A and B are shown apart, each in its own frame.
Chain A
Amino acid sequence: MNDFRRGIYHLLLRLHPPSFRVEFARDMALDFEDAANTYSFTRLLLDASASLVRQWWIEISPTRPNHLSETRPSLLNGRYIMVHHAGFTPLQLGLGFIASSTQLLLCMLALNTAPEHPIRFSSGSASFSSTPAPTDTAPATRSSGDESSDLFFQPSKNTAAFTGLGSPQADQLKPELLLFHPPGPYPSYEVATIKPITPEIAGSLVRLPPGGTLSPLSIRRYIMNAYGAIYAAQIIGGPDWLNKDAYRIDGKIPEDLAAALQKMTRDQRIDHIRMMQQSLLANRFLVRAHFETRVLPVYELVPAKGGVKFTPVAAPPEQKPDNAPVSAHANGQLLPGTIMSTPKTDGGWVLNGRAIKMSLLVRVIAGNITDRPIVDHTGFTGCFDITNLSWAPLTAASTDASDAPSLVGALKDQLGLAIVPAKTPIEVLVIDSIERPTAN
């Protein structure tokens, strides 16, 4: 099946009225996949288009058919309405014209929603990303002060472009797993050193994730951190060395900023660090990139049949910047808002959490199920406890030694949560160009 054809068909499905789309669009999409080999694409397209017109007509018709009404002569109503009606009233003609025009407008808007919205790193009036000045392209000769802090970020218009439609279709395209969009001026490291590390040394410094090929010291991982990407799949493109070369990057934070960071909350500190990392990527690696929304295979975390098996608990107290740092398991008990997984002797794991949000559990799941991003579609926004959630990783050794279920089974049995494959719009960063830095 051609992705382009599938995209057109799915676009037609998205243009259906919400009431119809919610109930039948998924079934229609599945049937389209099945029928693609036996039906011509043109026929399927015309069929979906006819359905689109019929459903919008039913939706906006002032005399919406009542299927059990005695006044309704037959099920042919709507389908063969021209046969049964002596003629259209001016009101009906007007509504039909409005409906047709609206559909045409929606199609044009959807087709003109360009996926590419470059990020511009600008320093003063010069566009950093389009035509870098000679001084910018020579990081080795740049003084520490050249990593200026007056870089500004123009947020991606990608999300706004989709949501700007102001329609249910646009809401459906709203991406998940949003990346970090800096809110304002970039802070920068006072000075940053970037040193390549040989693969042998890098291997001894870090333990690579099981089955993973992405070094934690790789630049792709650094970009992930800088943009708040949870999954490697969210950073697209770039040369192969992004995955293989390892670098040690040390940045010195200016004293005034270091003092300011002490007064910030944890999330604010993380945001500032990310902005400094993005600034470094722009200055030293000459990164050009843009945000996109792409429909990617994911796993949805949803309530299993029978619903969730936990009850909401009170949210943990808000962490103040001046709160003294405390251990996550002070006095032998987990602090509210914390989660902890501990290995068992048989190779399995035990997870405990206290007053945690679903996003925290998703993080833990993402560390164990790595082939697709995990998106939270539970609809649960409160906090809950996890007590001794036990599972065995799907490896031969642990499976033989333990009767514990897999993580998927444990989530279902103990928490009433299911993990199901799906496809959903995800925000990604597409790297247009990047250069190796000159070591210093």
Chain B
Amino acid sequence: MTTPRALLIVESEWRYYKRTWWSTVITTWLRPILFLLAMGVGLGTLIDRTADQALGGAGYLAFLAPGLMAASAMQTAITDSSWPVRTGIKWRKHFWAQISTPVTPDDILNGLMIWVFIRLVFVSTAFAVVIWAFGAAPLDRGLAAVPAAVLCGMAFASPMAFLAAWFKEDSTMIALFRFSLIPLFLFSGAFFPIDRLPDLLEPLALFSPVWHGVDLCRSITLGTPLALPLWVEVGYLLAVTVVGWWAAIRRLRKTLNL
């Protein structure tokens, strides 16, 4: 039996990643630690003076941790799916080399998504361990939240791959990143319940996959009730993933002229 071609792409991504893995270790482990330390522990000491029940009642650190887990999955997914597509088409141009072999654009995209999935599992598991070390959630609950975080990440990975293949200019993508990444991160419900947002922004947050991811993760680690039925939240994340995946494949076929 021959190896599916998409797995060959995974293998090549792995080879590329191996050379620079140390730099992602920094972002994988250090980012959650620093954020939890600064916001959860540091700012938490100020927030816990009031002990607002809207924050789940278990202290700010326990409220923040699962939210950051989903938000980190989003960030990993966005950078790991957009830049490889961009550089594959325009800078390293390795997509062009790959399609001159039996590999098709579909294989490239499928391979890349599988690769992002593997990265998300790793990053989210690392996060669960960090949360546990901080005493913000038991290890079993943290690990139970990993699938939710990964799903949340995938709902960003595929649409971002589509956008990265679609944009003509790098500067458009950079501008989009700078406009959207921080609001997505800040207004995801990870830091505070979204009902504190201005009325105008609140419904917008509902459409953001990350909010569903945060809600799912938090209900798993903290036991807070879900804002919407489980099937709606999971279904929404799955739907965004699939639509993004389909659009990305179509776009990549077009960009690579096949």
Do they bind each other? no
